Structure 1
Amino acid sequence: MRISAEALAPLLLGALEHEFTDRGLLPWRLPATARRQSTDPGVERVAAEPSGVHLDFRTEASRLALITHPTRELTGDEIPHGAVYDVLVDGELYAQLSSPVQGVGTTRRSDPITGEVSSTRGGDARIELPRLPPGAHDVQIWLPHDERTELVGLESDATVIPAGAEGTTRWLHHGSSISHGFAVSHPTGTWPVVAARAAGVQLTNLGLAGQAMLDPFTARTIRSAQADVISLKLGINITNGDTMRLRTFIPAVHGFLDTIREGPHAETPLLLVSPLHCAIQETRPGPLQMELLESGPRFSSMGDSREVASGKLTLQVIRRTLREIVQARRTEDPQLHFLDGLELFGEPDEAELPMPDQLHPDTAAQQRIGTRFANVALAPGGPLNLE
């Protein structure tokens, strides 16, 4: 049988909104009202990349195939690659499947000099799962964390029903490209998914690559979202883009927190996480520049450490500032907590697991970060544990 895109909507977890396009079901991690308030095309692009989004259902099917329409964003002569789908059966990784590339999906290629974008459109992708063993099983299909994916339909030789996540703690996390999962090889390898699976919580991942900018529309999105616990990993995008000085950063953080605390999340456990260790930005402010090498991109800081005295931001300044903000607010907000990002990934970790591009932790490093977050924040006794 062919299950339509409309019938897949109740099986979709991790998206804040979805849209029915001419091709199928498109998950969004920011609602349209938020996306309309930014002129940066990067906001819409990363909001459509379904990091943490997955289909979750129970079935007695032995044969399943997911039909999708991917959209790839490429620059210059960049070679497209097949995005990865992780399939979990009864909670265990069952298969990792790659989307076909040739003649499949939409490709948007931008000229690195002129910025002009050309687009070509191919057919749909068919992601066939390995045959499932007899009996009823809980199946999760995690969509590629780094590629816009429209769900066209699901082929199945038996009925599927929502697996149900009633009673599970709903954790909403907001962060940067590290939380989004850049430099990670597969969707369940991103650190928020690693942490959520370890702790047995239901994740909504608002890790928005390059867009953790303390935007008011993001704060309003979090304020309106369903969540039992919330975490915010803030700071590194502000430094990357050199978008604020200390004078504007402090009230922007307060305003972001004030907005979230309006309405239903006035007393929701909220954890503010400072940046992980990143050697190129510890004592030098941004902005960053990217150099394309044969081995891939490599980032470096263009700032001067002497500019810190005039209010420029480094990761060390941001960590200290975020800690002070939480300390100042806790008298009136006892459910606000602070976690030093160095507890998740510090200088010894970067020395042991160097970041290939000097900015984004790879799959092994994200596994460590996610495991530590689960143990520190989501485990019994942690600030986001509701037991």
Structure 2
Amino acid sequence: MLITTPITETLVRGAADLERTEHGLLPHRLPARARAQCADGQLAVAESQPSGVRLAFRTTATTVELDALPTKRVYLGAPPRPDGVYDLLVDGRLTGQASLPDGDTVTVDLATGSAEHRPGPVGTVRFTGLPAREKDVELWLPHNETTELVALRTDAAIEPLPGRGRRVWLHHGSSISHGSDAASPSTTWPALAASLAGLELINLGMGGSALLDPFTARAMRDTPADLISVKIGINLVNADLMRLRAFGPAVHGFLDTIREGHPTAPLLVVSPLYCPIHEDTPGPGAFDFAALSTGRLRFRATGDPAERAAGKLTLGVIREELARIVEQRRAGDPHLRYLDGRDLYGEADHAELPLPDELHPDAATHRLIGERFAKLSGC
């Protein structure tokens, strides 16, 4: 007989807020106050996709079931997206994986930006044959599907996972940090780096939304953490959000806000990974509709390199400015460091492991980046 355990914040790690819905609980990675300050649809989708969020408990159970309602996104004309993956880890080792084929569906027309929502059924992921001993279980939720938690059942009692003395690592970045094109939630590069370094991850990597927003900085300021990193650049270029004059003060303000809550925590500023389309060409970035017509998803840069003279941002410009800012601030902040993103994924890596859509790394590259970050970050 299975025991139903109420899902509460004591069982959920990596989320800032649990919103009660018609079906259950919706994990959010930004607090309600931050969400209320921005009506951007892209941000709403990104922060509600539970990258790095997992259920964590200790139990002797051999069977674990989770009822959940995913929201899947279909992009007209683009290749089908794979179903999100649920990773089950036992004592830190990946033991099982499952997916839900059904759920709510949002169909997006890339040409017009219109979206149609179709409701679907709640589904169940089930894991059996787990070792019949006391163990630590983590069920990582799909990093790329908004997921409402409906019910948790096991064949033995569970208790919240006790503290393991691990340092908490708070990270903010773009879709690459979010986990775009990673194989599963526990194999995004931040999740891999956290596992290798023995850290508890809070992942604020949010697709298309690493834009130096003040409400994100305040959320980081107010989140308990031992180590902090911010990966800045690619979204500012492909959104064509600001010019060089605004960029420097915005970086300073973002870091100032984080430091209000974490004055002495190690703080790592990471510049963009190598990305040929935006190295010297400004944004905005756009879908390559010629590629879409052949069933391939690709991105392109639409700016003019000559526009750099007017202050338009490229990845090269951003790296130079971030290095300058960190060097300037280090005079009064010895716990601040800079990491060139090309040390995580550079030009030589691109020759061997190219970006399939010109923007996002594949699963093998996520592993490479995670391994390098664990070594180079000083965690």
| TM-score, with length taken from structure 1 | 0.93
1:26 aligns with 2:26: yes
- 1:271 aligned partner, one-letter code: L
Counterparts of 1:348-359 in structure 2, within 5 Å, are: 348-359=348-359
Q: d(CA) in 1 for partners of 2:28 and 2:301? A: 32
Unaligned runs of 5+ in 1: none
Compute the displacement of 1:280 (Å). Answer: 0.9
User: What is the aligned partner in structure 1 of residue 154 from structure 2?
Assistant: 156
Shift of 1:138: 1.3
Q: CA deviation at 1:268?
A: 1.4
RMSD of the alignment, in Å? 1.5
Does 2:98 match 1:97?
yes
Report 1:1-387 matches (<5 A).
1-4=2-5, 6-76=6-76, 79=80, 81-101=82-102, 105-262=103-260, 264-291=261-288, 292-377=292-377, 382=378, 385=379
Q: For 1:179-232, what per-residue CA distance to the aligned partner results, in whole angstroms no more than 9, with x for missing partners?
A: 001111211111000000000100000001000000111111111111111000
Match of 1:10, SS? coil
SS at match of 1:9: coil
SS state at 1:67 partner: strand
CA distance in 2, matches of 1:365, 1:144: 19
Which AA in structure 2 matches 1:304?
D
User: SS at 2:348's partner residue?
Assistant: helix
Q: Please give the alpha-carbon distance, in whole angstroms, between the structure 1 residues aligned to 2:41 and 2:224.
A: 26
- Paired residues of 2:67 and 2:151 also in contact (CA < 8 A): yes
Amino acid at match of 1:153: A
Shift of 1:75: 2.7
Q: Is the Cα contact below 8 Å between 2:77 and 2:293 reproduced in 1?
A: no
Is contact 1:9-1:25 (8 Å) kept? Answer: no
Q: Which amino acid aligns with 2:89?
A: L
Measured after TM superposition, the shift of residue 149 of structure 1 is 0.5
State the Cα deviation string for residues 285-342 of structure 1 (Å, max 9, x = none). Answer: 1111112254531011111111111111111111010000000111111111101111
Contact map agreement 1:223 1:260 (CA 8 A) in 2: yes
The answer to whether the 8 Å contact 1:2/1:153 transfers is no
Does the 8 Å CA contact 2:87/2:96 hold for their aligned counterparts? yes
Counterpart amino acid of 2:95?
A: Y
CA distance in 2, matches of 1:116, 1:282: 31
Any idea what SS the aligned residue of 1:15 has? Answer: coil
In 1, are the aligned partners of 2:7 and 2:152 still within 8 Å (CA)? no
Amino acid corresponding to residue 89 of structure 1 in structure 2: V
Deviation, structure 1 residue 112: 3.8
Q: How many residues align?
A: 374
Question: In the alignment, is the contact (CA less than 8 A) between 1:46 and 1:208 conserved in 2?
Answer: yes
The normalised TM-score by structure 2 is 0.95
Give, in angstroms, the shift of residue 80 of structure 1: 6.0
Q: Distance in 1 between matches of 2:72 and 2:117?
A: 10
Q: Structure 1 residue 120: deviation in Å?
A: 2.0
